């Protein structure tokens, strides 16, 4: 069990001595930004240890390519009427894959809705994600991931959940961390501030990942806040905040791993702002050309996370075009198999809408359930 005194009261802060006639600086901060691979695939900073291993980098690359292949297929399914509205993660693969790769199995991920790259690495299946956007609750019953939260649609509302998960871990003295992924838009919400604030006060094992893709649907990053960085919002809560190049999967993987290690060993929470870009529309129901200049999107293509790592691997002579083609073919096959499973998933019984409301169906609802059953194919009469 964690020790009682590790839940700090936070009342040990002594005010600075009063001085008159001159202003004193009583607080100051800086936000660091880290990038290992620049957009040309060149080493900008000496690579961290894990990135010296070819296998590790290839695993990240594969995960990003799989995520993008999935994404393209999901959009195609939506366009052909085989999927509901879908939120694309195009361009943000590194920010998700880096998180998923850094996390330990026993950690808990609380994702928003562009973290497929992390979810896949944590055992969530592509079929499940398709089922979810295909309008089926079974897509949130992750077969190989018991404790991760399902996708959270209402913005930032899962940040307080992450606090509760982290609190439970700390109370039980577990070496586990909760990871909450949010977008830039989420950092304008009270839920986010309330969660970041208490994570600091209670020094919880909690890492916030802010996937800053520059757009909250149609509202640009600049229009959302006057703050120079989103990372500094953590500073106000007394927890470290930093930026990484969110399109550099090495930087994301490394900094998230560092934050997890700190949190896991009682060092408290951290917030990492991953700078990335939403290459696609907000969702398939959105048309970003209504509000976003096309040349901005074109300009962003050069920072693509997958092309960047590909350039590096190719430059190192460790990745041939044939290997790349084979990988893409392999990912296509995997995605096709998932789509096949999705499309072949047996229909769900209408009565299931009653069967998971409570552990045991209250008597008051039995008649309604029977009434639905008796409707047969005709629907709600």
DSSP H helical ranges for the chain: 54-79, 93-102, 116-121, 126-133, 159-171, 190-201, 221-224, 232-235, 249-264, 294-300, 305-315, 321-344, 352-355, 363-375
Q: Shortest gap between Cβ of 123 and other proteins (angstroms)?
A: 13
List of residues 6+ apart from 69 with CB closer than 8 A:
328, 331, 332, 334, 335
Q: What angle do CA 156, 300, 40 make, to 5 degrees?
A: 115
For residue 280, the Cα-to-chain-centroid distance in whole angstroms is 17
Instruction: Report in angstroms the alpha-carbon separations of 151 from 41, 137, 282.
Output: 32, 11, 16
With CB under 8 A as the contact rule, the residue among 201, 236, 297, 307 that binds other proteins is 201
Q: Shortest gap between Cβ of 256 and other proteins (angstroms)?
A: 20
Question: Of 52 and 352, which CB lies nearer to other proteins in the complex structure?
Answer: 352
Q: Shortest gap between Cβ of 339 and other proteins (angstroms)?
A: 21
Q: Shortest gap between Cβ of 221 and other proteins (angstroms)?
A: 24
Asked if 364 is part of the footprint of other proteins (rule: CB under 8 A), the reply reads yes
Nearest to 210, CA basis, from 241, 235, 238, 237? 241
Asked if 133 is part of the footprint of other proteins (rule: CB under 8 A), the reply reads no
Residues annotated catalytic, as ranges: 278, 282, 291
3-state helix/strand/coil string of 256-323: HHHHHHHHHCCCCCEEEEEECCCCCCCCCCCCHHHCCCHHHHHHHHHHCHHHHHHHHHHHCCCCCHHH
Question: Of 206 and 338, which CB lies nearer to other proteins in the complex structure?
Answer: 206
Asked if 146 is part of the footprint of other proteins (rule: CB under 8 A), the reply reads yes
Asked if 90 is part of the footprint of other proteins (rule: CB under 8 A), the reply reads no
Q: Shortest gap between Cβ of 68 and other proteins (angstroms)?
A: 27
Compose the 170-199 pattern: x for residues touching other proteins by CB under 8 A, - for all others.
-x------x-----------xx--xx-xx-
Nearest to 66, CA basis, from 342, 346, 338? 338
Asked if 166 is part of the footprint of other proteins (rule: CB under 8 A), the reply reads yes
Q: Shortest gap between Cβ of 249 and other proteins (angstroms)?
A: 28
Asked if 157 is part of the footprint of other proteins (rule: CB under 8 A), the reply reads yes
Q: What are the backbone dihedrals phi and psi of residue 60, each rounded to the nearest 5 degrees, phi first? A: -65, -40
Asked if 144 is part of the footprint of other proteins (rule: CB under 8 A), the reply reads no
Asked if 130 is part of the footprint of other proteins (rule: CB under 8 A), the reply reads no
Give CA–CA dist 178/166, Å, rounded.
5
Span near other proteins by CB under 8 A; candidates 139-147, 207-215, 281-289, 317-325: 139-147
Asked if 40 is part of the footprint of other proteins (rule: CB under 8 A), the reply reads no
Chain residues binding other proteins by CB under 8 A are: 1-2, 4, 7, 108, 110, 137-138, 140-142, 146-147, 149-150, 154, 157-169, 171, 178, 190-191, 194-195, 197-198, 201, 352-353, 356-359, 362-365
């Amino acid at each position: 069990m964690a020790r009682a005194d590790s839940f700090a009261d936070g009342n040990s802060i002594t005010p600075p001595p009063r001085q008159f006639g001159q202003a004193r600086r009583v607080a100051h901060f800086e936000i660091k930004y880290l990038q290992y691979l620049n957009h040309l695939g060149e080493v900008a900073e000496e690579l961290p240890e894990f990135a010296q291993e070819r296998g590790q980098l290839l695993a990240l690359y594969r995960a990003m390519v799989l995520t993008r292949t999935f994404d393209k297929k999901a959009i195609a399914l939506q366009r052909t009427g085989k999927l509901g509205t879908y939120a694309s993660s195009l361009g943000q693969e590194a920010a998700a894959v880096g998180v998923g790769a850094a996390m330990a199995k026993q950690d808990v991920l609380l994702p928003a809705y562009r973290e497929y790259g992390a979810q896949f690495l944590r055992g969530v299946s592509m079929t499940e994600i398709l089922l979810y956007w295909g309008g089926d609750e079974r897509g949130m019953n992750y077969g190989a991931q018991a404790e991760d939260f399902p996708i959270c649609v209402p913005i930032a509302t899962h940040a307080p959940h992450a606090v509760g998960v982290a609190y439970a871990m700390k109370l039980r003295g577990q070496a586990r961390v909760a990871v909450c992924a949010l977008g830039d838009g989420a950092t304008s919400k009270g839920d986010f501030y309330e969660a970041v604030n208490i994570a600091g006060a209670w020094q919880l094992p909690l890492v916030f990942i802010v996937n800053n893709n520059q757009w909250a649907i149609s509202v640009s990053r600049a229009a959302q806040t006057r703050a120079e960085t989103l990372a500094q919002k953590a500073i106000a809560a007394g927890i470290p905040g930093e930026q990484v190049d969110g399109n550099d999967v090495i930087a994301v993987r490394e900094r998230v791993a560092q934050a997890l290690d700190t949190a896991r060993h009682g060092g408290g929470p951290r917030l990492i702002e991953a700078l990335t870009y939403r290459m696609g529309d907000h969702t398939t129901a959105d048309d970003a050309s209504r509000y976003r200049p096309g040349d901005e999107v074109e300009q962003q293509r050069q920072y693509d996370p997958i092309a960047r790592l590909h350039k590096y691997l190719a430059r190192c002579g460790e990745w041939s075009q044939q290997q790349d083609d084979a990988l893409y073919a392999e990912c296509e096959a995997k995605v096709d198999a998932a789509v096949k499973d999705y499309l072949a998933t047996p229909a769900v019984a209408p009565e299931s809408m009653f069967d998971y409301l409570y552990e045991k169906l209250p008597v008051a609802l039995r008649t309604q359930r029977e009434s639905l059953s008796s409707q047969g194919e005709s629907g709600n009469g």
